Structure 1
Amino acid sequence: MTIGFITSEYPHANLKRSAGLGSSIKNLSKGLVSKGVKVVVFAVFQNKDKTFEDDGITIISMARKGHRFLGWYFERKHIEKRVKEEIKAHHIDVLEAPDWTGITAFMNFNVPLIIRLHGSDAYFCKLENRKQKWKHFMFEKNALNKADFIISVSDFAANVTRDIFKLKQEIITIYNGVNVTTFKPKSELIVKGRLLYFGTIVRKKGVLELAEIFNGLVDKKPDVSLVLIGKDAMDVFKKTSTLSLFNIKLNAEAKQRVEHINEVAYSEINSYIASAEIIVLPSFAEAFPMTWLEALAMEKPLVTSNIGWAKELMINNKTGYTIDPKNHNDYTNAILDLLNDETKQKIFGSNGRKHIIDNFSTEIVLEKNMDLFNQIMQQKSEA
């Protein structure tokens, strides 16, 4: 069996920066290879054309051509043509693509196409209560309607997406998984009072609320510190740096206790997770976040938001606390409660790792994906 993934994100030094979407595809791809499945990744909208191998996975980097007229259409037709060539060359049996901006809109393939819901532009616009560009909605709807199968990384994302696009197709939920060997507890010394946020510095992930929360925390526990790891992003409403908006919200004392690290290698992130006492992820918009999975797998207590997907991943008062990020006082007090109770930190951390191992480890998630791919292959052979 050979599976092809079409994606604009994939973590590798030869490609553009990748986030959680790329990490989830890489985790699945490596798992499939370990089961004897061949994997071809089409990394689209890149800076250069290049084909190379990575951990037994064939990566085909495709440069954006930059068509001057109807670029959105001709770019997709260029991708379609190249993918069709590689389907023949590599004997690809099944294709998969994410829902984000409808990469596969207006494409037609002679092998089954899966769209996996990691969170479309329409989905995030809905959660952020902002207007989506009409063309992006059209691309995403077209891609979803052309899909032979739709998978979602959470029930919440499936239900919201179904409502937005009025979908009639069945949507199968298969959660994202995490490698519990790569992400495991480390013996590194924990920095007392250190909080860690990691992810893009962007409004939808609750970083502006985190500034207010941290102000209240510093007032009550002056020795607390906060490390932010992630690239700054342009704020969708203020049209300026989100990090600058975050810093404006900090009071003078809190500013002295915050460190921002623009970027670290994916292979190094677990060292930063290990050094933190508590992980704070007050996001308003996720599908099923890899950051949460990784932190839980490393036995870290989390204080997160309590929205939709959170209830499928976190167990409130067992793996951490789930709280409305807009309720700054309650969020601050939840962090303070954990900072003042090392025993509870250890209990929550242990519960979190067990929860991941039992439900979201790569092995468990991989088997569910393998079952689906085998089912698709069976239907294909009977057609």
Structure 2
Amino acid sequence: MRIGFITSEYPHPTVKHAAGIASSIKNLAVVLAKQGNDVTVFVYHQEVSEVIMDQGVEIHLIKKETFKFFTWYFYRMHLQLYINNVVQHKRIDILEAPDWTGITAFIKLKVPLVIRLHGSDAYFCKLEGRKQKFKNFVLEKKALKKANAYIAPTSFAGNETRKIFGLNKHKIKTIYNGLQLELFNNESPSLYNRNTILYIGTIIRKKGVLELAEIFNQVIKKQPNAKLILIGGDSNDIKTGSKSTYKLMESLFTNEAKKQVNYLGKIPYEDVKEHIKKAHVCAYPSFAETFGMVTIESMAMHKPVVNTNIGWAQELIDDGVNGFLVHPSEIDEYANKIIELLNDESLCEQMGKAARLKVENLFDIEKNTEINLEYYKSILKT
């Protein structure tokens, strides 16, 4: 097949932004290409326009443009012209785009469009209890209503999005994100830095980082040697207007806890994987996700994860079997689960093995790519 992806982020040195959406798109795109499909990725809002090849995937960087009036509309028209020209030239069969900000609203594409529910602004606003800008809701709804079909990374994300926008449930298929498992091997899971707790993700309120500070304070009371490593870019805080959520987080640590925290900021992806290997326990107390790539990356490397217990996470982890699920607001319970793991090597080993097995069974990108392909083909037949 000839498949195109429309996205604002993709993991490549020439692309200015890459987060969870980027990782899941690349994992799929690379395996699709490896299996003999022609894959094109359109990355909009870039600093320059350029076409590059990477791991068999053709990447089109599309420069961000501004207009005197209605940039949100005229830039979409610019994308429409560019993408349709490539679609015709390469005879692309189907396009996929994210739901975030409704980038495909008002864009008329020459082939069927499937929207993957990575998480719309409306979805995150609902989970966080925030009010959404009316324009954003309109754009996202228009984009979604025009799509031929939808892919949800978890059933929870699909059901919540369906309720928000009134989508046809029969057009939504759950296909889990996946990993190239050979890139996430841990040959020595028994070797790690004891008492090291790892968090990976943007330092932002919705990820539960303020709660994580309080959780770590409780951990330190019983495990004075515990260390917390934080990896990810800082962000402004929408609630207080602070330019640094990490500053807010830092202000919550006790003096004892603060001495044991190491915030590394953004680091290269290969270095992130090394930190996962070295971690004793991984903690992801998020309030708002559609899936959680770092969760399955950690599980794939035999790590016991203490995760949020909200919706999507229940599809990744079986509580007490291959990780723990605790609501981020339950500070003491969350801390107790981390402490339990820090003090029980055999439990960590047992959960780590079970976590890897869960990833192999449900989140292997090789298997999930086949499911994606069959779904794409079914859309073309309708």
- TM-score relative to the length of structure 1: 0.97
2:293 partner letter: M
- 1:313 is aligned, of 312, 316, 324, to 316
Deviation at 1:68, TM superposition (A): 2.6
Q: Which residue of 2 aligns with 1:35?
A: 35
Distance in structure 2 (CA, Å) of the matches to 1:37 and 1:373:
12
Q: What are the superposed Cα offsets for residues 180-222 of structure 1, whole Å, 9 maximum, x if unpaired?
A: 1101214384111000000100111100000000001101110
1:336 paired residue among 335, 339, 342: 339
> Who is 2:220 aligned against?
218
TM superposition shift of 1:88: 1.2
Please give the residue correspondences for 1:1-383 in structure 2 after superposition, counting only pairs within 5 Å.
1-168=1-168, 170-187=171-188, 189-240=191-242, 241-379=244-382
Q: 1:226-263 CA deviation, whole Å, 9 max, x = no partner? A: 00000001111011111000000001010000000111
Structure 2 SS opposite 1:36: coil
State the alpha-carbon separation in 1 of the partners of residues 126 and 46 from structure 2: 28
Distance in 1 (alpha carbons) for counterparts of 2:187 and 2:135: 46
Instruction: Name the aligned partner's letter for residue 174 of structure 1.
Output: I
What is the RMSD computed on CA atoms of the aligned residues? 1.0
Report the CA distance between 1:139 and its aligned residue: 0.8
SS in structure 1 at match of 2:267: coil
* 2:186 and 2:302 in contact (8 A); partners too: yes
Query: TM-score when scaled to structure 2?
Result: 0.98
Range with bigger deviation, 258-267 or 291-300: 258-267
Tell me how far apart the structure 1 counterparts of residues 133 and 184 of structure 2 sit (CA, whole Å): 38
Give the Å deviation of 1:377: 3.6
* One-letter amino acid of the structure 1 residue matched with residue 212 of structure 2: L
For residues 252 and 49 of structure 1, the distance between their equivalents in structure 2, rounded to whole angstroms, comes to 49
Deviations, residues 329-365 of structure 1 (Å, cap 9, x unaligned) = 0011100000000000000000000011011111221
User: Match of 1:320, as an amino acid?
Assistant: G
Please list every run of 5 or more consecutive structure 2 residues that lacks an aligned counterpart in the other structure. Answer: none
For 2:123, the aligned partner's letter is Y
Cα displacement (A) at 1:109:
1.2
Aligned AA for 2:299? L
* Residue identity (%): 45
Q: How many residues align?
A: 379
Looking at structure 2, the residues matched to 352 and 180 of structure 1 have their Cα atoms a distance apart, in angstroms, of 13
**Shift of residue 67 of structure 1?**
1.5
Structure 1 Cα separation of the partners of residues 69 and 380 of structure 2: 39
Task: Using the TM superposition, give the Cα deviation of residue 374 of structure 1 relative to its aligned residue in structure 2, in angstroms.
Answer: 2.3
Q: Matched residues in 1 for 2:377 and 2:31: separation?
A: 15
Task: State the distance in 2 between where 1:267 and 1:38 align.
Answer: 27
For 1:223 and 1:19, locate their aligned partners in 2 and report how far apart those are by CA, in whole Å: 31
Cα distance in 2 for residues equivalent to 1:133 and 1:300: 39
**For residue 224 of structure 1, what is the amino acid of its counterpart?**
A
Q: CA deviation at 1:168?
A: 2.6
State the SS of the aligned residue for 2:181.
coil
Give the Å deviation of 1:268.
2.6
**Counterparts in 2 of 1:295 and 1:371: CA distance versus 1, 3 Å:** same
Whether the aligned pair in 2 keeps the contact of 1:47 and 1:64 (CA below 8 Å) is yes
Amino acid in the other structure paired with 2:235? A
> Which whole-Å deviations, capped at 9, do the CAs of 1:37-61 have from their partners, x for residues lacking one?
0000000011111111001100000
Task: For 2:360, give the aligned amino acid.
Answer: I
Instruction: For 1:347, give the aligned amino acid.
Output: Q
Per the TM alignment, residue 320 of structure 1 is displaced from its structure 2 partner at its CA by: 1.2
Q: Which structure 1 residue ranges, 5 or more long, are not aligned?
A: none
Query: Secondary structure, in 3 states, of the residue corresponding to 1:60?
Result: strand
Name the CA distance, whole Å, in 1 between partners of 2:128 and 2:49.
35
- The amino acid that maps onto 1:243 is Y
Tell me the distance in 2 between the aligned counterparts of 1:187 and 1:269.
17
